[in-house]
Amino acid sequence: MQRLQDRVAVITGAGSGIGLATARRFAEEGAKVVCVDLDEPSGAKAADEVGGLFVKADVTSEDDVVRMYQTAFDAYGSVDIAFNNAGISPPDDDSILETGLDAWRRVQEVNLTSVYLCCKHVIPYMRHQGKGSIINTASFVAVMGSATSQISYTASKGGVLAMSRELGVQFAREGIRVNALCPGPVNTPLLQELFAKDPERAQRRLVHIPVGRFAEATEIAAAVAFLASDDASFITGAEFLVDGGISGA
């Protein structure tokens, strides 16, 4: 399927997990992919594999965010799709009673402020083109909260969801769609890191997933490709759950 033929897509966190799977899927569907990551070896490898460009950038830096879209535009002449996906897991004890202000601020910075910066600096390109699709990675916890203490993470993802809704509504008439992707637990390094610290957490999570397993990153990438494509032309401002039924259970 070539739904994304010649569309220019910028993916943050493209070196691993959901971002990497999406870079592969976008390339399969014909897109020109710009892989952004803080981690140079993995980001460069991803770009090489999909025949795209690598931009080493820290999504918490406004200068870096400006530069990554400028690089994409200079190379390919447009920025059609922004998958604002880079993120970090919660700090070790992320209960409201234990999380320190520095840890809280760090999570907001990487998971939420980065999405603000990416939207702020990609929308002018899309406005000029009169079209564009932005997909911001939130999480199922943005919709339903989490019984495992991860208050800074949940709050950051709630912010991503709210921001996506507002931008989706605000820019709909300019042809720019903005959606919040809300994955359930996905088998990626981020999740494996959490479970390595607390092995019982995996079992606690698993019992709440109606399909009885964690998602593979390729299953999330399929949903992102749909949202990025014209097949989703009437979808904007949505909380797009890809969660194995977890939010309905």
110 binds ligand NAI (CB under 6 A): yes
Give whichever of 216 and 233 is closer to ligand NAI, judged by the CB atom.
Answer: 216
Q: How far is the CB of 30 from ligand NAI (least distance, A)?
A: 23
Contact 230, 171 (CB under 8 A): no
Number of residues that bind ligand NAI (CB under 6 A): 29
Among 8, 10, 18, 246, binds ligand NAI (CB under 6 A): 18
Give whichever of 147 and 172 is closer to ligand NAI, judged by the CB atom.
Answer: 147
49 binds ligand NAI (CB under 6 A): no
Stretch that binds ligand NAI, among 23-31, 96-104, 183-191, 234-242 (CB under 6 A): 183-191
* Residue linked to tokens 């014209």: 230
Indicate if the alpha-carbon torsion angle 30, 186, 245, 154 is positive or negative.
negative
Residue 130 contacts by C-beta under 8 Å, 6 or more apart in sequence?
174, 175
Contact 147, 205 (CB under 8 A): no
16 binds ligand NAI (CB under 6 A): yes
The alpha carbons of the chain give a radius of gyration, in whole angstroms, of: 17
* Residue linked to tokens 């880079």: 86
Q: Is 239 exposed, middle or buried (0-12, 13-18, 19+ CB in 10 A)?
A: middle
158 binds ligand NAI (CB under 6 A): no
Residues noted as catalytic:
153
Q: Which residues of the shown chain bind ligand NAI in the complex (CB under 6 A)?
A: 12-13, 15-19, 37-39, 42, 57-60, 85-88, 110, 137, 139, 183, 185-186, 188-191
